Structure 1
Amino acid sequence: MKVPFKLAALVLMAGTLTACAVGPDYQVPEQVKDVPFSSPYQHSNLALNWWQAFDDQVLNQLIDKALVENRTITQARANVGRAYLDFRDADNNGLPTGTIDSGYQAYENSTLDPSDDDIVTRGYSTGISLSWDIDLFGKIQRASEAAQANLQQADILWHDAQLQIISQVAISYGDYRGAQLRLKVAQENLSNLEQSRAIVLARLDAGMASELELARMDAQLYEVKANIPAYESQLQTADAALSSLLAQRPGQLALDDSKNSLHLKQLPQLQKPVAIVQGENYLRYRADVASSERALAASTAQIGVATADLYPSLSIGGFLGFLSGSGLSLNSSSQSWSVAPTLSWKAADLGSVRARINSAKASSRMALADFEQSVFTALNEMSLSLKNYNLSRQQEIMIAHQREASHKAVRIARQRYNAGSGEFLDLLDAERELLRSRDQQAQLEQQTFTRLVGIYKTFGGGINVL
């Protein structure tokens, strides 16, 4: 049968008609003002293992579990699958489609001829129905480009979801250990205050101190005791945050190891400093920048999709199979084929077409503005995270010196007061200053850890530890 060859020739000839794609060809922006942006997005492997530099087994276990159990990551992963299927669907639109059909038809009085009156005609049909939209002006190509950009954006957002969850787990873990540290400091402070109270009480029994001095010491002691429930509340809050991130019920986490509780109650520390490579384009690790760039690519492609409607569209339909009467005889005499090219043009709706083109261009301008803003936001966040971390480290150094000085002052004031040569108010002030410096040091340790995590987060995980 020569018909299939004729159809194949027609399909081949139609394929040669797919020439250009209307609308702008997308180019990745090389720079935003004076900020270079030529490197494509790169998902750093550091983003998924940077926390191991802390050498904290509990933190490692929490993050490993969050990467498996967290529902935000599950949702982002499913979004990648959906975007891939959308891309496959859009990309397949450039290929012929077909269905295998088999049907039966019965009708009476098929014509106005009186001879057909009261005549019932029956027939069967079976075969392949084909249709193909010829992409004369690149509408399908542009739609495929947009779908591909959306797929790439979904993949970027999936990696970003992992980085965000890792950072949130690390910060919540730091909150938990920070609350534990402040609780431990408060308990140590209570012990020190009780020693001072014992001295005051002994002097009171000896007639060398007053009830006022004992009352003031008790007031300071109860002030420390009153803060303990606040630290316990912070522990519960951090536990709830971690449980939520790991998709667990409240109270199911067991962060303490009784065999090594003193070590586990310390905040994670880096053994080596953070390394910032001069000249490195860290923007390529920022998922928000890369995501907005892919959104810009998709919106640019949509301009071509809308522009293609200004021009005629060509589609080809066809049938290859068998048609028979009521006897259902499928043989060479019942073979049938048809080819039906259709040319259509929205000539009466060009106003709406131009409106859609202008709308697509406006969306592209919005996407470009969003991309440019994301670049400047990223640059400022990275710079601020480094400055805040360095300032926090400086604070830690100063508060460590302050604590040493306060501890020395308490020791001297206690010795003098116990010997009868010192004033009670000097001891009270020294105790109060030591309490404050100890608690402030614990807060700064937690703050420094949180800001260190912030560096990894704002740099997209693309940062090294020396």
Structure 2
Amino acid sequence: MSSFRTRFFLASALPLALAGCMLGPDYVRPQVAASAQAQPRLVRADPQLVVAAPPLQRWWTQLHDPQLDWLVDRALANSPNLRAAEAQLRASRALVRQRRAEMLPSIGATAVYGHATAPDWAKDSVRSTAGEVADAIEGSAGAEAAQAIRQRAQALDMDMDLYDAGFDASWELDLFGRRRRAAEGARAKAEASAADLADAQVQLTAEVAQAYLGYRGNRERLAIARDNLERAERILALTRQRRDRGADSDLQVERAVAQVHQQEAMVPQLEADAQVALDQLALMIGREPGALDAMFAQDRPLPDLPQRVQVDDAAALIRRRPDVRRAERELAASSAQIGEALSAYFPQVTLLGSLGMFATSASDLGADAVNWAVAPMLRWSVFDFGRTGAQVEQARAGNQARLAAYQGTVLAALQDANGALSRFGAARRQLGSAQQAQASAARAAALMEQRNAAGASSLIDTLDVQRQRLSAQDGAAQAQLQLLVGYVALQKSLGLGWGTPPATQAGDAGAAAP
């Protein structure tokens, strides 16, 4: 008895022990750029421009522009690109559920009813045989017995009803972890799809902000161009009056006319750029071209930036950026694929079983009609002529490629953030110089107007100062826009802007606009 129990225990424990076996490497996240991640701040973070603090995910709210907030929220709720990424994420999560279900037994139920009718030749053959038997025994058994055999043969019903009902089950014993590695890989791919969705949100929020700021910048430059056009037209009118009095020549008038036309030439392109930006914004929020024209017709100043922006360290940046998380999850999925490929070297064991009832009439379906079967099935590709080895090599090479891609993504993320910090600092310094140039040009223009009113300046000097003033104003507007665009690029490089989109009310988009 003791020997029997020992064998029974070993037979029961062996599958459980093997079930804990998983082939292939256990994934460990690799360490990349360890020295950079150990630093308290990014290497290009200027303390005069940056405060070491976790940045806001909804970074655009720091610009305090209600129209920008509304556009970003609508884009996050209605963007076709985001809907496609969300659908891909749902599909990936469904695959995870499928892989988990494949690790459990599969149980099915069957119910069959059949009716079989014998062919006429079979019925005729039975009746003919019965007639021959009756003829043979008629002399010995008597006519009555022979007649009874003939009657029974004529009344014989050879049609048959068949009833079959039962359950069948199958379960692959995951002895070497093939199913578990498949579930592990599916889970990593689903997490990569989630990172894809987050990355699409990061890209979208940055693109919306850049398009909106570009629109506001074009409108500001357009206002400057129109203001200078009015000034040029006043100078032209004054020059014509002086010519009529003999104080100026036709040459001076033509110079003033050329100045007017130069100012006019700037307006159409700025108007077209503003319209293109509006249509781009409409596309991003899922609307048709022209849908935002009336809503954004009123001019607004460009938003002001905070004195210092919040930027955390490299380690937090790498953890947060969706593209880095996607690359890391794809690396984890490729690691699981190695275990899947290695499991092909070993046999697959599946337990098959069935339990059912079979009878020729419904009333006979009972305990006496029960039948059952249990069958373990083993499949093992002993000779595959190197196919499994090739698949393992492919999985290992794919894992190495994913590792290199992950390392490159981490380094590119650090370069992107540090480059954005450098450009942002340069843009802020450039704006300071441009504003000083604008102030100087405005003072020069005011002095020239005084000299011109006193008749102490020539038209050439007046036009030259006017051109300088326009160039300085336009340069300052462009420098302010570039600083804001640099701010957006910095937030994008930090991997900000992803998360759960806010709920939006149904109905016309214009009804909710600020």
TM-score computed with the length of structure 2 as normaliser: 0.80
1:430 counterpart SS class: helix
Counterpart residue identity of residue 179, structure 1: N
1:31 counterpart SS class: coil
Which residue in 2 is equivalent to 1:20? 21
Kept after mapping to 1: 8 A contact 2:202/2:497 = no
**CA 1:45/1:304 → structure 2, altered by over 3 Å: closer, same or farther?**
farther
For residue 163 of structure 1, report the CA deviation from its aligned partner.
1.8
Which residue in 2 is equivalent to 1:440? 475
Aligned equivalent of 2:88, options 72, 75, 79: 79
Aligned equivalent of 1:146, options 174, 177, 185: 185
For residue 414 of structure 1, report the CA deviation from its aligned partner.
3.0
1:50 and 2:43 equivalent? no
**CA 1:349/1:105 → structure 2, altered by over 3 Å: closer, same or farther?**
farther
1:240 and 2:240 equivalent? no
Distance 1:18 1:371 in 2: 32
Which residue in 1 is equivalent to 2:121? none
Aligned equivalent of 2:100, options 80, 86, 91: 91
For residue 45 of structure 1, report the CA deviation from its aligned partner.
8.9
Distance 1:35 1:123 in 2: 76
Distance 2:36 2:93 in 1: 32
Kept after mapping to 1: 8 A contact 2:99/2:179 = yes
Which residue in 2 is equivalent to 1:40? none
**CA 1:318/1:288 → structure 2, altered by over 3 Å: closer, same or farther?**
same
1:318 counterpart SS class: strand
**CA 1:340/1:278 → structure 2, altered by over 3 Å: closer, same or farther?**
closer
For residue 13 of structure 1, report the CA deviation from its aligned partner.
7.4
Aligned equivalent of 1:206, options 245, 259, 271: 245
Map 1:122-161; keep pairs closer than 5 Å: 123-161=162-200
Distance 1:215 1:233 in 2: 28
Distance 2:80 2:478 in 1: 31
Distance 1:183 1:250 in 2: 21
Distance 1:88 1:401 in 2: 63
Which residue in 2 is equivalent to 1:67? 76
For residue 92 of structure 1, report the CA deviation from its aligned partner.
1.3
Kept after mapping to 2: 8 A contact 1:196/1:414 = no
For residue 213 of structure 1, report the CA deviation from its aligned partner.
1.3
For residue 83 of structure 1, report the CA deviation from its aligned partner.
0.8
**CA 1:326/1:252 → structure 2, altered by over 3 Å: closer, same or farther?**
same
**CA 1:452/1:337 → structure 2, altered by over 3 Å: closer, same or farther?**
same
2:29 counterpart SS class: coil
Distance 1:53 1:353 in 2: 56
For residue 35 of structure 1, report the CA deviation from its aligned partner.
4.6
Map 1:443-462; keep pairs closer than 5 Å: 443-461=478-496
Distance 1:330 1:166 in 2: 67
Which residue in 2 is equivalent to 1:182? 221
Which residue in 2 is equivalent to 1:403? 438
Counterpart residue identity of residue 220, structure 2: L
**CA 1:205/1:251 → structure 2, altered by over 3 Å: closer, same or farther?**
same
Counterpart residue identity of residue 56, structure 2: L
* The 10-residue stretch of structure 1 (348-357 or 84-93) with the greater mean CA deviation from structure 2: 348-357
**CA 1:139/1:351 → structure 2, altered by over 3 Å: closer, same or farther?**
same
**CA 1:132/1:120 → structure 2, altered by over 3 Å: closer, same or farther?**
farther
Counterpart residue identity of residue 72, structure 1: N
**CA 1:210/1:418 → structure 2, altered by over 3 Å: closer, same or farther?**
farther
Deviation string for 1:51-98 (max 9, x for gaps)? 111111111111111111111111111221111100000111110011
**CA 1:255/1:23 → structure 2, altered by over 3 Å: closer, same or farther?**
farther
**CA 1:268/1:387 → structure 2, altered by over 3 Å: closer, same or farther?**
same
Kept after mapping to 1: 8 A contact 2:36/2:314 = no
1:129 counterpart SS class: strand
For residue 354 of structure 1, report the CA deviation from its aligned partner.
0.7
Aligned equivalent of 1:343, options 378, 395, 405: 378
1:101 and 2:110 equivalent? yes
1:194 and 2:233 equivalent? yes
2:354 counterpart SS class: strand
2:365 counterpart SS class: coil
Deviation string for 1:24-68 (max 9, x for gaps)? 11001122475549xxxxxx9932x21111111111111111111
Deviation string for 1:170-210 (max 9, x for gaps)? 11111111111111111111122223323323322332212
Q: Tell me how large the CA RMSD over aligned residues is.
A: 2.7
Kept after mapping to 1: 8 A contact 2:445/2:465 = yes
Which residue in 2 is equivalent to 1:41? none
* The 10-residue stretch of structure 1 (283-292 or 443-452) with the greater mean CA deviation from structure 2: 443-452
Distance 2:314 2:96 in 1: 36
TM-score computed with the length of structure 1 as normaliser: 0.87
Which residue in 2 is equivalent to 1:114? none
* The 10-residue stretch of structure 1 (197-206 or 314-323) with the greater mean CA deviation from structure 2: 197-206
Distance 1:11 1:174 in 2: 70
Map 1:30-49; keep pairs closer than 5 Å: 30-32=31-33, 34-36=35-37, 46-47=56-57, 49=58
For residue 315 of structure 1, report the CA deviation from its aligned partner.
0.5
Kept after mapping to 1: 8 A contact 2:341/2:395 = yes
Distance 1:19 1:458 in 2: 43
Counterpart residue identity of residue 191, structure 1: E
Map 1:324-335; keep pairs closer than 5 Å: 324-326=359-361, 329-335=364-370
1:388 and 2:389 equivalent? no
How many pairs were matched up?
437
For residue 124 of structure 1, report the CA deviation from its aligned partner.
2.7
Unpaired segments ≥5 residues, structure 2: 1-10, 39-53, 119-125, 128-157, 499-514
Which residue in 1 is equivalent to 2:331? 296
Distance 1:34 1:342 in 2: 54
Which residue in 1 is equivalent to 2:269? 230
* Larger of the two Rg values belongs to structure: 2
Counterpart residue identity of residue 68, structure 2: L
1:423 and 2:433 equivalent? no
Distance 1:180 1:413 in 2: 28
Counterpart residue identity of residue 445, structure 1: Q
Deviation string for 1:114-164 (max 9, x for gaps)? xxx998876432111100011010000100000000111111111222221
1:236 counterpart SS class: helix
2:364 counterpart SS class: coil
Distance 2:96 2:255 in 1: 73
Which residue in 2 is equivalent to 1:320? 355
Which residue in 1 is equivalent to 2:257? 218
